[in-house]
Structure 1
Amino acid sequence: MVKLTFDDGATDGMHEQLGSELLQWRQWQLLDSVLPTGGFAHSYGLEAAIQTTFVTNPIDLKSYIVQVLENTGSLLLPFVYCACKSPDIVAWSKLDRLLEATLTNEVSRKASASQGSALLRVAASVYLEVPSLKEMRDKFLGSGSVYFHHAPIFGLICGFLGFDSSTTQRMYMFMAMRDVISAATRLNLVGPLGASVLQHQLALVAEEMMKKWMDRPVDEACQVAPMLDVVQGCHQYLFSRLFCS
């Protein structure tokens, strides 16, 4: 029998490097579309925007995505930032309840809670080295005292895993852009190649939005593109629909 052994003679610098590299693997996993968090079941109101002719062509789509990024930055990044900066379960629960009161339509509230709950379920199962995730899920699931909204859950998980707040906020903006462009592809508004080109073109816009709204406290959270909120609220009235929101 061959016994595998590991050399414990690594220097502190080597351990730090391994920790940094492992953090990159975690980052890629969180951003991977394969991660079963339910994000691709939502279109950020795009499906309703198309059916109400708010978006009718690729030019409208690009403008719509910019507004989605603006709203994501202005409204949700403060919750991501605060949860990541101080990863504490008590503070997170307060942020979660505050976001529940802040979101202004039923569709976006349900979508946020659904994605957040799915993300916590995955994180509690995958990141066993962070037992707090499973403990908080076991404690709060079904209690009715929290709503598991996606933005504070994402920030909390990233904080527990050791991501800095800037990286966490940039990741959140990327996911918003990725998901709405994916929805546009499945709604046949743009092809797969056109979607890739569009994502590349909007990367700089997303970065500018992130820097504009990053590191803000939750009392500065606001919506700067209210029409998107109105359109998304119409989703539940669509006769036929592909997405949950």
Structure 2
Amino acid sequence: MAATNDHIPIQNGDHSENDVDLQTKISDFEAQLSQLRSQQHQKPQSASQFHDNSVSHLDSPTHSHNATHPSPTFPPSTHLLLLLSDSALPLGSFAFSSGLESFLAHTTRTPQPPPQLFTTTFLPLSISSYASTTLPFVLAAHASPHLLPDLDDALDAATICTVARRASVAQGRALLGIWERSFAPGRHDIAGAGDEKAGEELLQFSRLLRSSSSSRASSTDGGDGGGGELPPAVAAHIPPLFGAVCRAAGLDRQATATVYMLNHVKALVSAAVRRGMFGPYQAQKILASTQVRQTVEAVVAREWNTHWWEAGQGVPVMDLWVGRHEMLYSRIFNS
């Protein structure tokens, strides 16, 4: 019994210690709860103060929106890039099909539907042919605008197809007229010393073309009827002129080659629509396709380092299709 009585006070002591610990924890929890409640009451006030400070900062005259969000710039070269890639550029390309009409006339029996025939056969062949024969002249004129008359003369001698030559000269003279009448007056806004020099070369080329035409006209009017008439000094083919115009407009080499080839693709697709091969929605689908993008990239990469004296026809059948266009019984295009 003595052992039992001695054990009871020890248990009472343990209970008292536990009560003290619980009371301490309760006090701590109450203090934390009180602190959280005080923070809860202070939070809306601080938020309102932050809102007031923000509004006053925005209303202050020292706050500048342009300092954090600068206004976008629109370089003149980008502006002219959009103009040169526009289908509404008055080059007269709508009058030429680049052999598409003759191709359809000579390909009458085929199980392929017209859209598939265009995208799988004619379009890649035409892009490859156009790049191999003209793109080196575009890049050469872009790199050396002072060689513009020599490049024009070399391309004129290398173009053996009369129909293709006529189409190239017609579009080249139209592009030269656009530059001289529309783009040249504002070329002082284009930055770069090389661009200004290219613009002067274009104006000099235009004067050379006009003087050549004037001399031919005077010799015809007062001539003796002999056959000793000299050919014009320049023919004004579009490939070298396009390269020089892009250089004068501030476009780089990559943009020049890409826009030049895409313009050809758009002209082909437009001719196919007017020929009734497919509709305008299918035309946009073709232009936006991966095939067109990869084909253009491939031919540009292929001709990137090709010298102009190495340019040549890589698809001989294209000359046959274009050349036989004049032999068609009925036609709606000039080439």
TM normalised by structure 1 equals 0.87
Q: Distance in 2 between matches of 1:174 and 1:198?
A: 12
Give the match for residue 59 of structure 1: 116
Counterpart pick for 1:48 among 102, 105, 124: 102
The reply on whether 1:116 has 2:172 as its aligned counterpart is yes
Shift of 1:135: 4.1
1:14-69: per-residue Cα shift (whole Å, max 9, x none)?
9xx95x62111100001111111111111111011111227962222112110111
Q: Distance in 1 between matches of 2:205 and 2:302?
A: 32
Q: Distance in 2 between matches of 1:26 and 1:166?
A: 15
Shift of 1:214: 1.9
Which has the greater radius of gyration? 2
The reply on whether 1:194 has 2:250 as its aligned counterpart is no
Give the match for residue 78 of structure 1: 136
1:182-237: per-residue Cα shift (whole Å, max 9, x none)?
10000001111111111122222211221122232112201111111111001111
The reply on whether 1:242 has 2:298 as its aligned counterpart is no
The reply on whether 1:147 has 2:222 as its aligned counterpart is no
SS in 2 for 1:61: helix
Q: Distance in 2 between matches of 1:215 and 1:242?
A: 37
Give the match for residue 10 of structure 1: none
The reply on whether 1:215 has 2:294 as its aligned counterpart is no
1:229 alignment partner AA: D
Give the match for residue 67 of structure 2: none
Is the 2:208–2:233 Cα contact (8 Å) retained in structure 1? no
Give the match for residue 182 of structure 1: 270
* Alignment gaps of 5+ in structure 2: 1-69, 188-198, 213-231
Shift in alpha-carbon separation, 1:191–1:131, aligned structure 2, 3 A:
same
Give the match for residue 126 of structure 1: 182
2:315 alignment partner AA: A
Q: Distance in 1 between matches of 2:201 and 2:150?
A: 17
Shift of 1:242: 1.0
Counterpart pick for 2:244 among 144, 151, 156: 156
Give the match for residue 39 of structure 1: 93
Is the 2:87–2:263 Cα contact (8 Å) retained in structure 1? no
Q: Which moved more, 1:47-56 or 1:142-151?
A: 47-56
Shift of 1:138: 2.8
Q: Which moved more, 1:57-66 or 1:100-109?
A: 57-66
- C-alpha root-mean-square deviation of aligned residues, in Å? 1.9
SS in 2 for 1:141: helix
Q: Distance in 2 between matches of 1:102 and 1:157?
A: 22
1:94-117: per-residue Cα shift (whole Å, max 9, x none)?
100100111121000000000000
Shift of 1:142: 5.5
Higher relative contact order (CA 8 A, sep 6+): 1
TM normalised by structure 2 equals 0.64
2:323 alignment partner AA: G
Is the 1:31–1:175 Cα contact (8 Å) retained in structure 2? yes
Is the 2:257–2:300 Cα contact (8 Å) retained in structure 1? yes
Is the 1:55–1:61 Cα contact (8 Å) retained in structure 2? no
Aligned residues: 227
SS in 2 for 1:75: helix
Shift in alpha-carbon separation, 1:105–1:22, aligned structure 2, 3 A:
same
Shift of 1:131: 5.3
Q: Hey, which of these two has a bigger chunk of helix by percent?
A: 2
SS in 2 for 1:120: helix
